[in-house]
Structure 1
Amino acid sequence: MTGRHAAARRTRGGTWRPGVLALVGALGLMGGLGTQAYWNDQATVTGTAVTSGTLDLLVDGQQGNPSTYAWSSLSMTDMAPGESKAGTITLSNAGTTPFTVSATATASGNLDPHVTARVVLAGSATTDTTYPRQETCTGGTQTFNDTLGNTGKSVISSTSTMAAGASLVVCVSLTLATNAPNSMQGKSYTPVFTFTATQAAS
């Protein structure tokens, strides 16, 4: 072997055999290759922004919260027994989140036990200016027809889902009973409706 000096080893028969140390040295060089580093690289990825939606119920284009919206179309003066008044409001989804709407109502004033409130979804209000005035809600789906009282009654359990930009007309008629006693002259009645929008279930 040119250029190398191998240690000799004596065999049992007394003969020296060169080359064993040269083989050990070659294995050592091969083992050293395993300590070298591999190339590597990194990449950083940033997610785009996540924003929350909005849930916004409007009544005739108004907020109705925190200030109370006055339902002027449901007002009537000098109501006599047997007369009725009807009016509509439009609920709309001005946010980005679909929702359903429920409603409760109360009434104050001495006339309360003698006035029947009728609630109709997607109904229209008739107009009558001659005595005895007989206005009502036509079409749509009736959800309530009773006196209100002051404890809060459910007048709309739940509407169908209203998508963003959708609207729904609610019609209400108020009728003073024909048998309202004489003592109810000059008395008042004020209904209060609370509409609640709730995020629609997925």
Structure 2
Amino acid sequence: MREVFQQSLDEVRERLVEISGLVGEAIEKATTAFGTSDVALAEEVIDNDTIIDEKAVALDELAIDILARQQPVATDLRMVVSALRISASLERMGDIAEHIAQLTRMRFPDRAIPKGLKSTFTKMGEIDVDLARKLTTLLETRDLALAEAIRNEDDKLDELHVSVFEKVLSDSWKGEASATIDATLASRYHERFGDHAVSIAKKMVYLATGDWTADSIED
């Protein structure tokens, strides 16, 4: 029975890594589409979000089944409960990639990125893609140094998010209302993607240390 239980836990971990990889692909395609007005690529992200959703639901059902049938305790219980919470964050990250793709589709054939902010959003997209890659590796290897790296990258993302708001609120901003809305929404999506990555990283630290208040990573 213990061997079967361990196989179930391994499957949970593997599914988390798989979903994280899909989220990484989604955000990479979404940010590329956003920067280039590639509506076909944006449509691909939108269509594929259901795959992420379905896999997240299947993982949740597996985790709940483990809780009901195996009644895990201590570290194993933390693992299963954390998996449920991580799954929810990954599903939300997939939704955020979809939202970025939807902005691209909504403004096509025009560019969704307002004038004067292209370099900022390019950098934000690069950071989100890097965060997704680091997160997948963290889930696979449990290398806690990656949790700290994710937090540091998210700090850069937060700074860029603030800079977007400073830009659209400045007297020099000449963008129309639609451009202001697009910039505000897109910046918020990028920033929230990073927040979810940090949240998952914190949960991985908790799994490794059992200490939710560990100083190794903070929001």
TM over 0.5: no
* TM-score, with structure 1 as normaliser: 0.25
More helix by share: 2
Which protein shows a greater Rg? 1
More strand by share: 1
